[in-house]
Structure 1
Amino acid sequence: MEVKDIHNVYFIGIGGIGMSALARYFHFIGKEVAGYDRVPSDITAGLEETGITVAYSDEEQEIPDAFRNPKHTLVVYTPAIPENSVLLHYFRAGGFRVSKRAEVLGYITADTFCYAVAGTHGKTTTSSILAYLLRETGTRLTAFLGGVSENFNSNFLIEGEEVTVTEADEFDRSFLHLSPDIACITSVDADHLDIYGSKAEMEKSFRDFSGKVKPGGKLIVRYGLPFEGVTYGFETAAAYGLENIKITGGRYVFDIRMPEGKVSGVTFGKPGKHNLLNALAAFAMAVEGGASPEKTAEALAGFKGVKRRFSYQLNTPEVVYVDDYAHHPAEIEAVHQAVREMYPGEKVLAIFQPHLYSRTRDFMKEFGKSLSGFDQVVLLDIYPAREQPIEGVTSEKLLGEVSHNNKQLVSKEALLEVLENTGARIVLTMGAGDIGVEVPRIRQILVRRYGIAL
């Protein structure tokens, strides 16, 4: 694909976090951009503010005239779009070039020095930290992120076109379209079994991804994973390691051990051992790509975070409210560890919206175990996303797997009563569905209940 030959780009599913970053890229380089999404959101509102046209009806008449010429129009879609989409059918039948988001991302990054972060957990935070570190140490880059960086206030950054940072998404084997110079694998827990069928098949896909690293490139890999590369982790045998970890003033202070030398007195502000590993992975990628270890370590202190990744909504003596994207048992356990480490002995209310019927079915017992660590558990109905209901797979059944009795299944509307009556000072919302839409309302309820002056 020659980008110079494309005048118009139409996105089917433009409101997705990854799709919107690509839309912003094409808009930035001067292409005409439009798209469709099922419902309005903060993301689509942000796109519309930049001049991008967004339609909310899957109908042919919604396509602007400028995007009806197949010779100069590229159509990008997300696998979350159903095959019976009217728009998808129109463009395919009309002879348009129709590509998945991952293919297009592969085209854009192919001729750049590409950093790519893969893993079933941690890739959004790690890639966001990496983009921030590279920028702070003088690299002009383009970054396509799977979340909104609180440092950039965006999921997209473009300050130079020779270096790119991107997530390498394992869903639908999308990451096999990339050819990175520096790649990282953070984790390979079983997930997306509706796509892969087994953990072994998923691991094979990650192995295939590791083979996509360009000749002379490097693979950074979490110590203990079954891949050959430069390792990082808490283990003393890891090439990049963490030592002398302390918590001071709600921030981590530690030393980083490198293959050659050490950097001492490093500070990092995001809670949780999983976030320490994300920071270490990003540090290793930057240094292996040529960045100064000392300047990179210094920059870690300034990383603010990613929206919906242990994102503080309220942090007061009366109440702490944290929102997180966690939608897999391992991610919920990571949030639990972070909360218990930062707020030992406090009562914690966890509000969780399961994401996908298939994931809930595949990890029913694991979800129950991970949620059981919280003092009070509130479940919302399963968010279906791209799926149809599966018989016997419900939030009610999942609630039965939680090992204590301080638990309930409620509607979104009933959350008000739960929040008014909980005795917990620490409140969490977790999930990858539309629970994020409820965050401002929950925050407002807590502010009113506790009389917090903002």
Structure 2
Amino acid sequence: MNRVTTGSGSSRGQVPGVPVVGIEQLGRVHFLGLAGVGVSAVARLMLSAGVPISGTDAKDLPVLDEFRAAGVPVRVGYAAENLVSVEQETGERIDTIVASSVAQAGTNPEFDAAAAAGKRLLHRSEGLAACMAAKRGIAIAGTHGKTTTSSMVAAMLHHAGTSPSFAIGATVAGFGTNAAAGSGQWFVAEADESDGTLLNYAPEIAVVTNVEADHLDHYGTAEAVHQIFADFAERILPGGALILCIDDPGAASLAEKVRSPLTARNVELTTYGTAPEADLTLTELTTGSTGVQAQLHSGSQRAQLQLPVPGVHNARNAAAAVAVGLYCGLQLSTAAAGVASFRGSSRRFEWRGTVDSIRVYDDYAHHPTEVTAVLAAARSAADTGRVHAIFQPHLFSRTRAFATEFGTALGAADTVRVLEIYPAREEPIPGVSSELLGHPVRTRAQAVEEIVQIAEPGDVVLTLGAGDITELGPQIVSALQRSRTHADRT
């Protein structure tokens, strides 16, 4: 699996039908949805590369202050005249628009004005692909675990001294950002399958952590979800590598489907997992409140893996990162040590505070498989304590599709409270509500009040969901502090 990594850029050739546009071709770039985690990452990268940029967002969020401080023209509130206003302010023509998934034709006046003016229109993912064009791309995909795995890869390569560039869907602990332009040849990118835009990348290395039915509001069927990952494998540059988890049935099925086509294109297929047939094998795996330990085996190489984050799923994510490191030319022990430097990503079992030995965590889990994995991690972290889960379902369509599975997954917690569905981009669906999950539905205030009443020293409180439930963690910590202070005084 070890590769010699000489040279830089995407020198292994291109995939037919996947145009590679470099940022030097974009001219002045204007971003729609500048405050969003994905769009802001691309904007940071282009700004670091010296590309003149500007941007608009619907809300004046704190991230916009970062761009203002860098001298970037920023507008709040979408309007067709913003484009003219920015051009007048800068004295330069806007050549390219990079837009989020929600700022698109027919729904955004600024996008429509740009289209009418004949400007180049790029989706966020195409903007990111342009940033990657001069580097050797590593694209991390999968239904679950791609943010953590991407963060681990970036941390590992940084620890090894390779100075990678990266763009990830969450702030990475230790970096303090979700995107940075490094001086090295590798570029780590999280590839989002939710709307099929992962097909805009042509990486040298692709990772698929797992393949499972999700985003059925976009794809319609589980078969279509599986197909998008097969299509993604076709985007790997000749001479590159596909790395996937053999423990996952969907990824294992993908391996068999694409093995022959990959071989014909000289693309290496590498597997990882606890299964003995994996190319990179995890053995002697233990997980507890202090994290995960395991042995890694790759050919004749052996190494100890020690992670400061709990959960068997994180051991598999770490193995994926190590497999990437081996392809990049690192020794197994060096890759394992680099992954061990990972300290977490925002909203991935993120510690929000401890009061009277009650630990409060927040996690982005919004699919039954993710909920199952993170509750298992919480269970190991709690040890003899109890696990209290507060879950906010995300999307009416996902709640309808997986109501029974969510109910079962949440049953692994000692107590469960479910909030109302976070609609995101959807309108309500008749007959679909949080009550379908089979657990008590509470308001935020009720959930916080009940946690304060029942949580005891040693317990773990976990807020779960892809919506705004992340705001609840600090509220729970504050409520616990007030409760304990009041108890001490009385």
TM-score (norm. length: structure 2): 0.85
Aligned runs of 1:146-225 on 2, under 5 Å?
146-160=169-183, 162-223=185-246, 224=249, 225=252
Give the unaligned 5+ runs of structure 2.
1-20, 260-268
| Alpha-carbon displacement from aligned partner over 1:323-375 (angstroms, at most 9, x marks no partner) | 10111111100011111122234222211111111111111111111112212
Q: Secondary structure at the match of 2:58?
A: coil
Q: Secondary structure at the match of 2:163?
A: coil
Determine if contact 2:390/2:447 at 8 Å carries over to the other structure. Answer: no
Shift of residue 158 of structure 1?
1.6
Give the unaligned 5+ runs of structure 1.
none
Determine whether 1:132 maps to 2:155: yes
Q: CA RMSD in A?
A: 2.3
Determine if contact 1:379/1:395 at 8 Å carries over to the other structure. Answer: yes
Question: 2:103, 2:478 → 1: CA distance?
Answer: 33
Deviates more, 1:337-346 or 1:139-148: 337-346
Match of 1:338 in 2: 377
| Alpha-carbon displacement from aligned partner over 1:413-450 (angstroms, at most 9, x marks no partner) | 44442333233532111111122233333332233333
Distance 1:352 1:44, change over 3 A: farther
Question: 1:110, 1:207 → 2: CA distance?
Answer: 22
Match of 2:45 in 1: 25
Q: Secondary structure at the match of 2:195?
A: helix
Question: 2:289, 2:422 → 1: CA distance?
Answer: 37
Shift of residue 182 of structure 1?
1.1
Distance 1:67 1:384, change over 3 A: farther
Match of 1:446 among 480, 484, 488: 480
Determine whether 1:237 maps to 2:271: no
Q: Secondary structure at the match of 1:116?
A: strand
Distance 1:381 1:70, change over 3 A: farther
Distance 1:52 1:161, change over 3 A: farther
Share of identical aligned residues, percent?
33
Distance 1:43 1:120, change over 3 A: farther
Q: Secondary structure at the match of 1:171?
A: coil
Shift of residue 222 of structure 1?
0.6
Shift of residue 119 of structure 1?
0.1
Match of 1:379 in 2: 418
Shift of residue 53 of structure 1?
4.2
Deviates more, 1:366-375 or 1:113-122: 366-375
Match of 1:409 in 2: 442
Name the aligned partner's letter for residue 326 of structure 2. Answer: V
Determine whether 1:107 maps to 2:130: yes
Name the aligned partner's letter for residue 409 of structure 2. Answer: S
Aligned runs of 1:423-434 on 2, under 5 Å?
423=455, 425-434=459-468
Determine if contact 2:157/2:338 at 8 Å carries over to the other structure. Answer: no
TM-score (norm. length: structure 1): 0.91
The total of aligned residue pairs comes to 445
Match of 1:8 in 2: 28
Match of 1:259 in 2: 299
Match of 1:303 in 2: 342
Name the aligned partner's letter for residue 98 of structure 2. Answer: V
Question: 1:350, 1:52 → 2: CA distance?
Answer: 42
Q: Secondary structure at the match of 2:406?
A: helix
Question: 2:469, 2:65 → 1: CA distance?
Answer: 18
Shift of residue 138 of structure 1?
1.8
